[in-house]
Structure 1
């Protein structure tokens, strides 16, 4: 008897990584882990039960460490996340509390672990910060690994999969995703996860289509069901109808053709139809990203976020450690420029090893240059390392979060002290490098002409400029609708900064996320920006669009935009005027 035909199901989730794939489902099952019962433990049996829990933690930890050891060095991002999980196995909140619960409640280790992980989940979910909420997933994944060893459940072995499939799972831990073989796994979909989750981060680094946060996809899919994963729009289609299948086959072919075309043309000069040159730079965080900078034909690094080395080391690095890293980047990219942004910590990036006064609102507190001026010994160490690296290639120095002239004067005094120390130490260095400041605070916009007297270039950081000018926390979903790159206030502020830079004859660039969105490009060009720095993966698309625009037309276009009072009207005007180019 033939099986009944399955109906098409369309589920909407969160885009984990772009792209489209079509294939058979492979359901990742952890049957047994959730089948837990509560039973009492006698007082005499408590020590043995605690040892059983400790042994399960040790086996899970050893297994996790073995996965880390098996990774290639080029999988840095996955390795960092896996090492974070390794620490969680012995976290007091999870490990210590579970042992305490076995003692006090006299219950079996499985139930104690389940109880504690639920308590942690409830506690984290009360926090408004989406990033912290997403860390609940890390706790759950570590708990699950320990639980599997307690109950004797069979582990999934993604590395053992030997056919071309699409993974379907309740969740995929970093340990799971690190086993993905790109030649076999077409993509994946999960019940859990989001853009801020570690699974989401790894999805992007693997560059395979992924849709996450689908809720109950594991209950809707059976092994060998045909799936369409649309990572561009965050859509999953289960058992697609014939017309849908043909439509998505065409979409996939078109997407792959577009990507190939972009890659093929990425080395063409970014020059407008009327001959205006644009300089497209890359934002990076790690030395390893230099490969992507080269592959995407960036004209250099417009923003090197140096704080991530401090976070990775879990302590303040020495001058020599910083110098070696900075020198490596400069030498790899020479003669192209590398712009080092000095340490920008606190706010949304906190060093866990640094003890200090807890701030109610860190975004408005001792962060970035304010911290560096408060701790000059840390600042001087970094400045010296940058000046030494500058002897080996084209280097620029960028200071974040400047709000007044006094701050830049103090920064220059510290640079002077760093130069004197290097001279006394008879080290090779280059002090004649361009000095710039981030324009990301409204006060800096207002006094831009005054600030320009003290520096060689401006770099507009739109991420914080929008946040501070609109008085919103950009990670707060309650006010996320106000975070808009086409807000008239922002566009007018950008114009003020560009005008001030031109008047004082200094260079100007933009390094915020606004720079990498094609929708914003006609406005930015029309305002007079000729250098943009962005995620290196965005460069080929922006390059292609530059080559289809006319700079003179964008200037006339912006004259009309400046007079508009609503972000929605501006966005509609952009789409109406440049819709044909954007749709291509």
Structure 2
């Protein structure tokens, strides 16, 4: 039966494929593909885990007091029966053999299938046995975890990137949620798109999806419950629509849209070597946002003139508490700098917090850094200043990478003068250390993120201390409007067109230009073609965005006149409803073209 599930569109395009469900569990489950030759070893791991649980349950039976309720023993017998069901065991092994899932993923996938079968049973007693099944499965998953400590505990992408493992059909991922770090596993993976139950349009998970140019829908609420393993699914990333089990005519329509989209991408790609200059000669710099050094070649291929934002925090995530040291960071930054062939690279110091929690070791236990309100907590520069050794190691690595090319250092979430003073003191101290030690390093420009209203309103202070500023519109909107951008319940209130947001951005650009300091927008607005003309009208001449967005933004710039857009931007700022000005301008353009 065809179903339609609605969510928030976060990454444009169409994906068509069979659903792969990452089932939610009360314990962490690793999801990765194995090499076919390792299938027997994974099946052996599963067999050992089942045997271990069987021994545990038998021991529990023996420990039941003689005067205990008979139902206790009967319940344990039910668990043993479910555990030793060979049909279930064979079906779980089939996921390993046919799909090349690791043992944990195979167990979770089979649990999902069986849980749905129990839900459909008419007999109340049998239907309630689903809870027993889940308890048994979680015992097996815990046993597997004890035997696989060397594996990652949250990756959803393939450990081996061969598309052959997916079989003939393309795959789309369906989950309750996917962390931003897990999203990076999509690079080169078999998944062509994803759907999540939760999430906001400007959460970091959505941002990474856009940077990977993967069609995606988040905040789809019931998607992981309504969609079944292997269902054919269409993800309409433009409309925020997920179509489950589509009829042939709908499937063919979306396949046609896919082909059209590919033709348009190829046409825009031909602009990659053309300079971004308006019709009246205003030169605009188009930079790329990246998460890892391996993204740099793709940025170059898209026509980027440098890296405007290297999100270094992704080097710190999904590491089970083992944070990268100076040498590892240096190699990563150096590789990105070398890959850009002399073009500038702006490295933001680690921005951990909010929807990018950091795993830390506490004693011998792995824990996650969570607070009651992580968006307002110990994140970004606040965390760095609280971890001086790590902060100094990162700054040293950035300075050393600057020996290989043009590097700029960008500090996130600054709000107070004492934070500015403390940060610059660390940077100065590190450079003096490197000079004393005769360690090769280069000169760097130091900039500040403007992503909190306090920073925008204190801009003269920032411009006195820094070489440039970069406006992080994602957080600026969030903090100006008091909206958690990762929460789909309030996502409709997250409004980049809010007059207060636009005024803060326009004032920041104007003041930086007047002071002769560089200013760039590196948030999602930079890559959104709806805002291209407005930002140019504000006086912005440097945009940093996902590489996939550069061709479309460049096309918009090539068709614009900067002088005309100044008056347009002024009208936008004066309006209580800026969208009405935008709609009127679009209507006027259409009439003129006609």
Give me the TM-score of the superposition, normalised by structure 2: 0.69
Residue 158 of structure 1 deviates from its aligned partner by 5.6
- Check the 8 A contact 1:13/1:214 in 2, yes or no: no
Instruction: Output aligned runs, 1:171-250, within 5 Å.
Output: 174=157, 180-181=163-164, 185=168, 187-188=170-171, 206=189, 209-210=192-193, 212=195, 213=223, 216-218=226-228, 230-233=236-239, 234-236=241-243, 240=247, 248=254, 250=256
8 Å CA contact retained: 2:359, 2:369: no
Query: 2:552 matched to 1:541?
Result: yes
Cα distance change, pair 324–266 in 1 and its aligned pair in 2 (3 A): same
Residues 1:555 and 1:195: Cα distance change in structure 2 (over 3 Å): farther
Give me the whole-angstrom Cα distance separating, in 2, the residues matched to 1:338 and 1:367. Answer: 23
Q: 2:285 aligns with which of 248, 272, 279?
A: 279
In the alignment, does 2:459 pair up with 1:486? Answer: no
Whether the aligned pair in 1 keeps the contact of 2:171 and 2:192 (CA below 8 Å) is yes
Q: Is the 8 A contact 2:413 2:449 kept in 1?
A: yes
CA contact (8 A) 1:191 1:216 kept: no
Aligned partners of 2:170 and 2:192 also within 8 Å: yes
Q: How does 1:457-536 map to 2 (within 5 A)?
A: 457-536=468-547
CA distance in 1, matches of 2:20, 2:383: 47
The equivalent residue for 1:53 is none
Structure 2 stretches lacking a partner, 5+ long: 47-51, 65-71, 101-108, 114-154, 196-222, 363-367
Q: Aligned equivalents of 1:399 and 1:414: distance in 2?
A: 12
- Structure 1 residue 351 and structure 2 residue 358: aligned? yes
SS of residue in 1 equivalent to 2:94: coil
- In structure 2, the residue matched to 1:126 is none
Offset of 1:559 from its aligned partner? 0.9
Secondary structure of the residue aligned to 2:164 is: coil
2-side partners of 1:536 and 1:182: how far apart? 28
> What is the alpha-carbon distance in structure 2 between the residues aligned to residue 114 and residue 500 of structure 1?
69
Whether the aligned pair in 2 keeps the contact of 1:16 and 1:209 (CA below 8 Å) is no
Deviation at 1:198, TM superposition (A): 8.8
**1:526 offset after TM fit, Å?**
0.9
Structural mapping, 1:117-132, within 5 Å: none
* CA distance in 2 between partners of 1:341 and 1:385 (Å): 12
Q: Select which of 4, 21, 27 maps to 1:11.
A: 4
Match of 1:329 among 336, 340, 344: 336
| Structure 1 residue 397 corresponds to structure 2 residue 409 | yes
Give the distance between the partners of 1:305 and 1:246, measured in 2 at CA. 39
1:414 aligns with 2:426: yes
Tell me, in whole angstroms, the C-alpha distance in 2 between the residues paired with 1:410 and 1:198. 29
Aligned length: 481
Is the CA contact (8 Å cut-off) linking 2:451 and 2:471 kept in structure 1? yes
Deviation string, structure 1 residues 41-70 (Cα, Å, up to 9, x no partner): xxxxxxxxxxxxxxxx9xx99x96844998
Q: Residue 294 in 1 paired to residue 300 in 2?
A: yes
Normalising by structure 1, we get a TM-score of: 0.70
Q: 2 CA distance for matches of 1:542 and 1:312?
A: 33
Tell me the secondary structure at the aligned position of residue 447 of structure 2.
strand
Q: Report whether the alignment pairs 1:251 with 2:257.
A: yes
CA distance in 2, matches of 1:264, 1:207: 27
2:397 corresponds to which residue?
Answer: 385
Distance 1:394 1:286 in 2: 17
Runs of 5+ unmatched residues, structure 1: 1-7, 34-56, 72-84, 90-94, 116-145, 161-167
1:383/1:415 contact within 8 Å kept: yes
Moved more, 393-402 or 406-415: 406-415
After superposition, the Cα gap between the structure-2 partners of 1:16 and 1:280, relative to the gap in structure 1 and judged at 3 Å, is: closer
| Deviation of the 1:310 alpha carbon | 2.0
* CA RMSD of superposed structures (Å): 4.6
1:51 aligns with: none
Using a 3 Å threshold, how does the CA distance of structure 1 residues 27 and 279 change in structure 2: closer, same or farther?
closer
**CA–CA distance in structure 2, aligned partners of residues 19 and 368 of structure 1:** 32
Further displaced range: 175-184 or 283-292: 175-184
- Structure 2 partner of 1:424: 436
> 2:191 & 2:13 partners in 1: Cα distance?
7
User: Per the alignment, in what secondary structure is the counterpart of residue 532 of structure 1?
Assistant: strand
**Matches of 1:157 and 1:493, distance apart in 2:** 56
Mark the CA change 1:240 to 1:358 in structure 2 (over 3 Å): closer, same or farther: closer
Q: Aligned-pair distance for 1:334? A: 2.9
Structure-1 separation of matches of 2:487 and 2:244: 30
Q: Is the 8 A contact 1:472 1:482 kept in 2?
A: yes
How far is the alpha carbon of 1:188 from its aligned partner?
3.6
Would the alpha carbon gap of residues 147 and 190 (structure 1) be closer, same or farther in structure 2, given more than 3 Å must change? farther
Q: Does 1:155 align with 2:95?
A: yes
Contact 1:397/1:434 (CA < 8 Å) preserved in 2? yes
Cα distance in 2 for residues equivalent to 1:395 and 1:321: 17
Residue 340 (structure 1) aligns with: 347
Partner of 1:366: 378
Within a 5 Å distance, the mapping from 1:260-279 to structure 2 comes to 260-279=266-285
SS of the equivalent of 2:565 reads helix
Deviation at 1:458, TM superposition (A): 0.5
